[in-house]
Chains A and B, each alone.
Chain A
Amino acid sequence: GAGVSQTPSNKVTEKGKYVELRCDPISGHTALYWYRQSLGQGPEFLIYFQGTGAADDSGLPNDRFFAVRPEGSVSTLKIQRTERGDSAMYLCASSLDTGFYNEQFFGPGTRLTVL
């Protein structure tokens, strides 16, 4: 497929556990974004990668959240010691990031439930 894919589509875990969420961006897209969406709210920015480096991680809520993109393509969002408040839809987007114009293409999301 040509779109952004995210795996798994659903993840149920227990409080205190570690989880990894994966994002496969559109081939050739240098920019990659993670957002978190709680019920009834719009998506909230977490982190933005330009290539392999995190250009802006100001949206990460605390140090339990970490993301990597080692080869400038696939990205993994990692959450340590999960809490019930981490339950949300996690969305990934990618773009060509050509400057001022920056259409972002979103994946279907991973719904995380922490019991």
Chain B
Amino acid sequence: DAKTTQPPSMDCAEGRAANLPCNHSTISGNEYVYWYRQIHSQGPQYIIHGLKNNETNEMASLIITEDRKSSTLILPHATLRDTAVYYCIAPGTGNQFYFGTGTSLTVIP
């Protein structure tokens, strides 16, 4: 089962890109990487997922290194509402998610 490592906290100026890194060096070849975020007192919200290729949706972009040992979530134009805890997740063989403690992102006006 892959585990992930993220910095505990980051700041980002409003309107700038937020780049959140994640290490998942033990990920296996068929395990997706998922990103969720959690705004205070709410349930986790899905952002994006990827396997090998870079991905983009209306919320974010996901850059996965060629060796799949790390990835970066990019919020292209951070807003104050993006302040949240961001989790990089690689699921276990039993499909449960290992969340870790995530990265607390603060967007500064």
Contacts and interface: CB of A to CB of B under 8 A. Distances in A.
Interface of A: 4, 31, 33, 35, 40-45, 48, 55-56, 58-59, 89, 91, 93, 95, 97, 100-109, 111
Interface string B23-53: 0000000111010100001111110010000
Contacts of B91: 102
A44 B99 CA distance: 7
Per CB-CB distance, the 9 closest pairs between chain A and chain B, nearest first, are A42-B99, A106-B43, A45-B96, A56-B94, A106-B44, A43-B99, A108-B43, A100-B30, A109-B43
B95 interface: yes
Nearest to A104: B97
Given A91-B43, A103-B46, A108-B42, A97 B34 contact: no
A31 B43 contact: no
Nearest to B94: A56
Interface of B: 30-32, 34, 36, 41-46, 49, 85, 87, 91-92, 94-102
Contacts, number: 66
Nearest to A100: B30
Given A42-B87, A106-B43, A106-B44, A48 B96 contact: yes
Given A100-B30, A107-B43, 9 more contacts: A41-B101, A42-B101, A45-B96, A48-B96, A101-B49, A103-B46, A103-B49, A106-B36, A106-B43
Contacts of B99: 35, 42-44
A11 B34 CA distance: 31
A59 B99 CA distance: 13
